[in-house]
Amino acid sequence: MCGIVGFTGSRSAAPVLLKGLGQLEYRGYDSAGIAVLDGGSIRVEKVSGRIAKLCEKTRDGAAVPGVIGIGHTRWATHGAPTDVNAHPHLSNDGRFAIVHNGIIENYLALRDELIADGYVFESETDTETVVHLLEHYYDGDIKAAVMKTAARLEGSYALGILCTDAPDTLYVVREASPLILGIGVGENYFASDVTALVSHTKNVIYLEDGEIARLTPASITVCDCTGREIQKPISRVTWNVEAAEKGGYEHFMLKEIMEQPAAVKAALAPRFRDGRIRLDDLELTAEELRQVNKIIITACGSAYYAGCSGRYAIEKLCRIPVQVELASELRYSDPMVDEHTLVLVISQSGETADTIAALKECRSRGAKILGIVNVVGSTIAKLADYTLYTWAGPEIAVATTKGYTTQLAVLYLFAVCVAEKLGRIGAEQYRNAVRALQSLPKLLQQTIDMNYQLPSVASRYASRSLFFIGRNTDYAVALEGALKMKEISYLHAESYAAGELKHGTIALIDENQPVIAVCCNEALAEKTLSNIVEVKARGAKVLAVAFRGNKGIVSQADDVVFIPRIDSIFSAALAVVPLQLLAYYAAKEKGCDIDKPKNLAKSVTVE
């Protein structure tokens, strides 16, 4: 959830750290800090609030001399987001400074032990135990102290460590939290995400659990948890720094909404060859697929809602029963999973703690795991038996948009490909499905172009509370639309299966309750239309999302947002776009911090 960075070289470290933190701010933004080593002592500057405040305090780093340092942007777990709880934390003797992303689960026991040994704690954080442990185990050998400390920690951590006794050297260690090393020329870096590295270098090393690295300006050495040196492959980042910048848009979220046609194209295009879908990374034969008697899709948040849409496509085309489970529930549910279950694990970041735990739970019961992941080299991508990357490129806004639509695109590919392999759809249905998917990027662009009027619609519908309704695939879209609205505009939103309204919640409908009705499932359009009539009869103002040419809806809804026609199985990928824009413009009208909504962080690496 937090972001950490480190730099060692021969130029001023603080500006590099602050820039890196700015690029990681999406991971957490309630406080920030840097520690820079200069003249034999470590200077720490930290503030509660945004990185801009830290930049102001340090005059963009100019006030903090030194050529080696570490930095942190925080999403508070233990202790309020105050200056004192902000990282970096210092050891009592001032020799060590550390930054930490993750959670130390046994910190209370460690804290008691350290207090009994005379260590003085300043903060309420779990992290502070780590820096005192380092001091405790240090006898002149930093690597040994790091290893002994790591051996005492339970939970998840990516740690960046600075020590006054090694004035050009950084140490890092990881367990279940992302950590990437950047290889520069005469300088080296570490960060929680490659987005903070690409402006310096495209050559990176992905650290694995249990590994420890030592970085000097001229070298990087990595060893395993026993201290044995290991050779790590160098990976090349394939995207440019511009991909992680706003490129003229006011917000990353708007940029990422607009990037959806290109992102979905990147997810789909390489997987079509000679009019057929080729999922080279899914090495399951027809025979192996025939052994699968159940598919479980597991994920969190929007990725879970992508799974809800995917379920309809898979069940309809493949005729395999699909269960969609929240990862945070599945992990503790004693799930009925065995070697005949295929588990689809969906995650943009590939680092979501609950999703990783659900994956491990299912794996331990014999299931095969297919990861649908955006971030290359992430934990889920590594743990899965097969990984289909969504190729959305870096997603910076906390609220996912292109991450979600590319997940849908990959789920649709999976559904059509597996259905054909199993002989559950005929040649013509297959050809039509392939054609529909090939047209998705173009139709997404049309959807965006057709919805130029959304800012004014949003200002009329952004009331204190909204209802989102739909049936089947449209219900899945309603779930995602309501989440988008809640998380960035802070307006209350309910999503309901339209047919369920009259079982209780219709009591809430009156003239003050706007309803957003998704009506893009042609087989059920008439049914949803009757629900629209029902809520209108109770005074609600209705905004409908429907296929272009749906005349019936114009006479019933107060406002209609149209999308191009596509086979209803795939319509969620288009229907979600006006809902993303609606949330965006509602949040903008309210003056919300769209890219960094309060209390949230992009990558939820804690339970």
Phi, psi of 93 (to 5 degrees): -85, 0
To the nearest whole angstrom, how small is the minimum distance from the Cβ of residue 481 to ligand F6R?
11
- Give me the 426-465 binding string for ligand F6R, x by CB under 6 A, dash otherwise: ----------------------------------------
**HEC states along 83-137?**
CCCCCCEECCCCCEEEEEEEEECCHHHHHHHHHHCCCCCCCCCCCHHHHHHHHHH
Closer residue to ligand F6R (CB): 397 or 418: 397
324 binds ligand F6R (CB under 6 A): no
To the nearest whole angstrom, how small is the minimum distance from the Cβ of residue 355 to ligand F6R?
5
Task: Give the 3-state secondary structure percentages of the chain, helix then strand then coil, rounded to 5.
Answer: 40, 25, 35
Of 487, 489, 569, 584, the one binding ligand F6R by CB under 6 A: 487
Of 101, 298, 348, 406, the one binding ligand F6R by CB under 6 A: 348
Find the angle CA(35)-CA(39)-CA(42) to the nearest 5 degrees: 25
Closer residue to ligand F6R (CB): 58 or 405: 405
377 binds ligand F6R (CB under 6 A): no
Closer residue to ligand F6R (CB): 149 or 348: 348
To the nearest whole angstrom, how small is the minimum distance from the Cβ of residue 387 to ligand F6R?
14
Whether residue 189 contacts residue 197, with contact meaning beta carbons closer than 8 Å, is answered with yes
Of 149, 347, 495, 550, the one binding ligand F6R by CB under 6 A: 347
Is 502 annotated in the active site? no
Query: d(Cα 502, Cα 496) in Å, to the nearest integer?
Result: 10
To the nearest whole angstrom, how small is the minimum distance from the Cβ of residue 440 to ligand F6R?
20
| Closest-approach residue to ligand F6R (CB) | 301
193 binds ligand F6R (CB under 6 A): no
Helix axes 260-268, 402-421, angle to 10 degrees: 30
- Give me the 289-308 binding string for ligand F6R, x by CB under 6 A, dash otherwise: -----------xxxx-----
521 binds ligand F6R (CB under 6 A): no
Q: Count CB-CB contacts under 10 A for residue 539.
A: 11
604 binds ligand F6R (CB under 6 A): yes
Q: How far from 67 is each of 17, 186, 189, 527, CA to CA, in Å?
A: 10, 12, 12, 66
Q: Which of 129, 123, 87, 127 is nearest to 111 (CA)?
A: 129
Q: Collapsing DSSP states into helix, strand and coil, what is residue 226?
A: coil
Q: Sign (positive/negative) of CA torsion 496, 499, 504, 509?
A: positive
- Which residue in the list 2, 163, 223, 300 is annotated as catalytic? 2
| Identity of the amino acid at 162 | L
142 binds ligand F6R (CB under 6 A): no
355 binds ligand F6R (CB under 6 A): yes
CB neighbour burial string for 260-277, b if at least 16 within 10 angstroms, e if fewer: bbebbbbbbeebeeeeeb
Is 2 annotated in the active site? yes
To the nearest whole angstrom, how small is the minimum distance from the Cβ of residue 433 to ligand F6R?
25
405 binds ligand F6R (CB under 6 A): no
Which residues belong to the active site?
2, 602
Positions touching ligand F6R (CB under 6 A) are 300-303, 347-349, 352, 355, 399-400, 483, 487, 603-604
